[in-house]
Chain A
Amino acid sequence: KAGVTQTPRYLIKTRGQQVTLSCSPISGHRSVSWYQQTPGQGLQFLFEYFSETQRNKGNFPGRFSGRQFSNSRSEMNVSTLELGDSALYLCASSFDRSAGKLFFGSGTQLSVL
């Protein structure tokens, strides 16, 4: 079974631009979660999607948004990029939402200049 796939692996943007990151979950997994990882703040939960609906949200501004498609693939969008948005963005999928076993992708490294 293929793992969680995130594209692109690296991205360079400038302040004020917007960016879209993509995540394909493991086949059969319907829950997709997104995390931001920075050296200063560590790993922080952004949001979780299930059945095309956002079910849970972390403490991030409205510039961070996402969506999930009927095939469970998910996209994350960040508008009006700020320097502080530079981070590794990790996507994770799970089969059993209550058990908490998350399977992560290799992430997208976003650099904002």
Chain B
Amino acid sequence: AQTVTQSQPEMSVQEAETVTLSCTYDTSESDYYLFWYKQPPSRQMILVIRQEAYKQQNATENRFSVNFQKAAKSFSLKISDSQLGDAAMYFCAYKRAGAGGTSYGKLTFGQGTILTVHP
């Protein structure tokens, strides 16, 4: 079974600074997707960034970028120029790729990292 581990229960950053959230995962699959989701106090999970395992290039979305190390099974999220609105719980998630009923709709999530942004 796949597992996702976030070893940092809490992180903090000063506004305008950069912070990196860590995530490791375990899988025997070669093709999969990795995600970072953000959950603010409103409780809605918001997709931040997505990485396809077969792509070597790291995904980037504006101030958010990832460092994907497939061999090490590591997937960290870097937030640049942190803003107060970035404060939230961040979840790393894994999904098996390909067709097949057991992969549809199912993400495996880590335990989350609470990010605090100080003004």
Cβ of B99 and Cβ of A98 under 8 Å apart? yes
- A30-46: contact bitstring with B at CB < 8 Å (1 yes, 0 no)? 01110000000011010
Cβ of B103 and Cβ of A101 under 8 Å apart? no
Q: How many A-B residue pairs have CB under 8 A?
A: 71
Cβ of B104 and Cβ of A98 under 8 Å apart? yes
Cβ of B35 and Cβ of A100 under 8 Å apart? yes
Q: B97: CB under 8 A from chain A?
A: yes
- Count contacts on B: residues with CB < 8 A to the other chain: 27
Q: B101: CB under 8 A from chain A?
A: yes
Interface of A is mostly: strand
- B43-71: contact bitstring with A at CB < 8 Å (1 yes, 0 no)? 11111001000000000000000000000
Chain A residues with Cβ under 8 A from B102's Cβ?
A: 56
Q: How far is the CA of A96 from the CA of B20 in the complex (A)?
A: 29
Q: B80: CB under 8 A from chain A?
A: no
